Chain A
């Protein structure tokens, strides 16, 4: 389950060597009487790439959004990089969120700021990074996602794929220990999906811990160390991609994979 073949060497580990960077224990969430997550246990090792698949409504996005506190959960505990998620403590939440990057389906770039300002805003405000250093870092990150020349562009002048790559650079600027990707290619035109996935793959190759909710099965198969199939608010099946896609054990997973194949054809 651990990803020993990856060279994970993030700065200043807060946890013991080998301890999971994310530990979710007995997590339950409901909207009123409707239970969305019915007791999730999950450990993610440093540098591991985990793909979460499942039907819409299975709770996979909700689980992801619980990890950085965008969703409130009623029971269970969540530890990220040695920090307990304490929903009622704004300061603790901000510290936890500094270690957790998130990329959204709808990009959510700040439309009133240039691409460069989008990337620099949080490091400037939260990390108090010096202006010069912040700008250099932003330029380097934008170059990394292939958008060096867009530093002064406004987000609405960019294609969807470019906007999503800016969003990735923006998240990376905070030096997160773990990155959450919430269906980040679902809002893109098919021809733009590849450029975003290539950036995500390069992150995985560099040892970033990744948790991604995705419908891109071939991508999950190629990049993930572990695949989690969620069904009705529970982790229904979990394993390496070869097993999950090659030898699904439960009828629900078999049916789901069959559906996905059907929609791809």
Chain B
């Protein structure tokens, strides 16, 4: 029987943690892009788009991420699309993040006084110009702290990707625990690694929140 040293466990977990980071980053960046698009769609409110986006947000906020992952993974396969666990996890987390981010940012935009829209509209700025040059810079300032805070949620949410077989930190922890017969030590290390990723992020969020005032 192979003996697992602490270093063996930690080394393998660190290797797997890269995938947690990559998946988090993809979900966050993808979610930001999609979320911003949805926000603009919702603000212009054309063709009932605002209601559609609101329904989208409700759908993703009202169902467990685990179900979203399952549905996407097996659903896409059923539709004949050959997806890997990696693609399914990236897409599911992107959609999940976009729903939350668009809702967070909508609140930030709503916090900007109406008069700012009216003043910029009166100066003949187009909707895009109003949003980009007047509203966005002000909303961004309010949005930074809750957005970075949400990033922590995304990092932890990537753990669920393990259920569809994507080998990230949690999945690797499970595999190592099985072969090493050291579940407590292994999962302890897994938890510590998540903490090592999330703690600096939430510190940054707190710092930003303070400088914002």
Contact = CB atoms under 8 A, between A and B. Distances in A.
Interface of A: 68-70, 90, 94-95, 97-98, 100-102, 104, 106, 108-112, 121-122, 125-126, 167, 170-171, 174
A97 B124 contact: yes
A69 B119 CA distance: 12
B138 interface: yes
Nearest to B114: A108
A104 B118 contact: yes
Main secondary structure of the interface of B (DSSP, over half): helix
Contact of A121 (B118, B122, B123, B126): B123
Contact of B118 (A100, A108, A171): A108
A108 B115 contact: yes
Interface of B: 113, 115-116, 118-127, 129, 133-134, 137-138, 141
Contacts of A102: 118-119, 122
A112 B138 contact: yes
Contact of B119 (A90, A95, A108, A112): A108
Task: List the 5 shortest-distance A-B pairs measured between CB atoms, nearest first.
Answer: A108-B119, A122-B123, A108-B115, A97-B124, A102-B122
Contacts of B116: 108, 110
Contacts, number: 62
Contacts of B113: 106, 108
A100 B133 contact: no
Contact of A106 (B115, B122, B134): B115
14 contacts: A94-B125, A97-B121, A97-B123, A98-B124, A108-B113, A108-B115, A110-B116, A121-B125, A122-B123, A126-B123, A126-B129, A171-B122, A171-B123, A174-B124
B118 to A, nearest CB: 6
A108 B141 CA distance: 18
Given A90-B126, A94-B126, A106-B115, A111 B121 contact: no
